[in-house]
Amino acid sequence: MSKLSALLLLIVACGESEVGKLEVVKKQICACKDVTCAEAAMKLLPKPDDKTSHREQGIARDMVDCYAKLVEAAKPAAAPAE
């Protein structure tokens, strides 16, 4: 399972009581300048619950988007075609 998939699964599984914590971690991930920073922030995610709210799912999408942008930026540039 990719880190992105694992992140989404973990976030979506958190309960409504964890929304504040999710928001804090989302802000940390989205403020990161590299993948290493984002992965360190992901370690702060709370343990998942069985139910999720639409709000939590939205936060999860935002986190995944921020993480995906960092991963994409970290990829080496393709060699120009000759």
Q: Per residue in 31-79, pLDDT tens? A: 999 999 999 999 988 777 667 778 888 998 999 999 999 999 998 876 6
The number of domains in the chain is 1
Which residue is listed with tokens 């986190």? Answer: 63
Host domain of residue 14:
3-74
Dump strand ranges (E) for the chain.
Answer: none
Residue 13 lies in a domain: yes
Residue 63 lies in a domain: yes
Q: CB of 27 within 8 A of CB of 59?
A: no
Per-residue pLDDT tens over the stretch 4-41: 555 555 555 544 457 888 899 999 999 999 999 999 99
Distance (Å, whole) CA 75 – CA 60: 23
pTM: 0.69
